[in-house]
Structure 1
């Protein structure tokens, strides 16, 4: 919703200075910034290798204007704002759970459960509108099956059945991400860019006093119950944007004075993990770097994140486990202990792996060279 602290939180998380005024639709065009993904393993590796350059993992965050009741029908420039939501991979849903007479509410009163239902209804209504178009188009296409359909590719009739399944689920007031999908079905769903299919992290913006005292305010338990009833697998993080803003301004002294920690690292990690992202490391004197990949990524595709030639010419991956390196202290000790492993194309990368790739890269004029990273 508007006026709940979205732009203020964005500014604190990304050290930005986008307008965050006390009136609806202060934010029109999305603001975008990258934040570093906190990881003490990366810090430890940098201390060990002391490289000339360090490159941590990052998460890109967009500050998108608030939605209001009727957004799916265009209220409050809703269609434009909903298209901004459609462009992202996941959603932080910030919920206002604090009273403040100086901060207006577009619905005139503070009621987090009502706000939750308004936003979810608007997202579902937009998805229903989207699926209606697909059902019409696929219904026509299904009447004329393609005789040369590629093996493993769903027919238009099969795609139609998936879309109708999603539409039926939405009609029951449920989000698409909460239904079980097979891998082929998920491929169809992902191609539709549905709003309710995106992973969501709920951020409950409580007052500074409630956060510091640990009382969490009067609405947190109701919000938790609502999420449990509607989206039981979604993460809920209570925080105070006012507290985070003051902590950013006053620094460690304020944190020490209050005796409570910032929630920003948890918020960033929650978004990163919600997108099913992990990272592996490459380490050396020149650079320590974290490379972001999806969970279940195989070694050749992980190498391709560095350079597409590394995926095409993949030979092998040499892998150290973070626990082994921390226990033994040096790369040489890991090798000596026989724990420096060589993996092939079927190896699934694990979060925190330290990797070194070998690949053959072909140059038409220069012949074949082996390179490694």
Structure 2
């Protein structure tokens, strides 16, 4: 006897992934397939047996440091009067206080800045949608830290708690001399400033870890030789805490530069450690030095980074140049200003804004990638973390997409861009079906098929 079939009505959603830009939005364009989608019925016993079978050649997924979320934030950190609030203003086109005295920013300010992406622009040109929603980076302007902040100097403890609340750090250092702008230490020395901020963050982590080790050590001591699963988990956590504490307190290193197992990362992620957060270093130069791409401090800063935190990114920029560009109203005016800088300082190469690189670097260090929904009604970007599988990527649009995920029909952005249409991609054999284990890649364009029955929704 032929096995009965269950019929599901399905909907099709078009989604494109991309690395450059995320979005924080909740609508998507739907396309109804029309005919019912038929799938073979399985008995409950069959389903139960299959669900217990481990996948063949399963790959252990690496757990990433940081919150497992796609709603992550960068905080601008540095000493007072190095250009943090001015940087915040040009990044977000806002008007945070940027006065010439220490601690002019006390409460952290939050804003979103649009992320430039040529692929998003191409999709908008391709679909010519009624609505265009670009990607955004959320940025916090955090008040200046000073030496002794971990001991409460300045407004240290409050400011360190603001750093703890973000997921990544833009570390701004001042690399220009200006007698009219006060420096809290009396003279400009960005390498010293880097050491000051980094050490304050490390000391705060050391203090917090010492307290955690002491508290959990007392618990483990009371457990004695207890052999329950819970007791063993506590003892394992205690050993991990001691290892992390030794790395921070004895090795004097930042947590993000350690090599940790997945279990160790899971424990670290519960601690909200300051030195576990990724960092992008921003060197604030004078207009002249930025135009000429020369500054006496850059090589020393690079050497400090390579020695202390190898692999971290250093981006030279000039808040003076960026502020001037922000004041100009048209692309033509901005282009003319940059050309005038090139002529004034006799620079052979064209001068460009550093803001796009800064914004994109913030997303990269947060391990974020992006996909888009696209069609004639709207092109919209969505944020996911690296390693996100297709059902969870679909769930960023709506939870029903994830709950009722059936499959993902995938084509790459590069293929659509090259061939010019969906039909051409299909004809070229570059349109493939993927299941629940598929990890969404940068540049994917996905048609999600999903079904959520009335009965399932009631549950």
Fold similarity call, TM over 0.5: yes
Q: What are the equivalent positions in structure 2 for 1:135-214 lying under 5 Å apart?
A: 135-143=213-221, 144=223, 147-149=228-230, 155-171=233-249, 172-214=251-293
| Superposition TM-score, scaled by structure 2 size | 0.77
Give distance in 1, aligned partners of 2:442 and 2:97: 37
Deviation for aligned residue 1:328: 0.7
Aligned match of 1:282: 373
Equivalent in 168, 174, 199 of residue 96 of structure 1: 174
Equivalent in 441, 444, 448 of residue 350 of structure 1: 441
Deviation for aligned residue 1:135: 0.7
Give distance in 2, aligned partners of 1:265 and 1:282: 22
CA contact (8 A) 1:318 1:340 kept: yes
2:311 matches 1:228: no
Bigger radius of gyration among the two? 2
Change (3 A) 1:336 1:196: same
Aligned match of 1:371: none
Change (3 A) 1:363 1:146: farther
Partner secondary structure for residue 311 of structure 1: helix
Give distance in 2, aligned partners of 1:179 and 1:41: 35
Q: What are the equivalent positions in structure 2 for 1:41-120 lying under 5 Å apart?
A: 41-120=119-198
Give distance in 1, aligned partners of 2:369 and 2:320: 30
CA contact (8 A) 2:414 2:443 kept: no
Which range moves more in the overlay, 337-346 or 112-121? 337-346
Give distance in 1, aligned partners of 2:456 and 2:323: 57
Deviation for aligned residue 1:146: 7.4
Which range moves more in the overlay, 279-288 or 220-229? 279-288
Aligned match of 1:129: 207
| Superposition TM-score, scaled by structure 1 size | 0.94
Change (3 A) 1:347 1:202: same
**RMSD between aligned residues:** 1.7
Give distance in 1, aligned partners of 2:338 and 2:148: 41
Which range moves more in the overlay, 69-78 or 358-367? 358-367
Give distance in 1, aligned partners of 2:191 and 2:98: 24
Aligned match of 2:428: 337
Give distance in 2, aligned partners of 1:94 and 1:367: 51
CA contact (8 A) 1:283 1:354 kept: no
Q: Can you give the 5+ residue segments of structure 1 that lack an aligned partner in the other structure?
A: 369-373
Give distance in 2, aligned partners of 1:58 and 1:310: 23
Aligned match of 1:327: 418
Q: What are the equivalent positions in structure 2 for 1:192-271 lying under 5 Å apart?
A: 192-215=271-294, 217-250=295-328, 251-258=334-341, 259-271=350-362
**Which has the bigger relative contact order, CA under 8 A and spacing at least 6?**
2
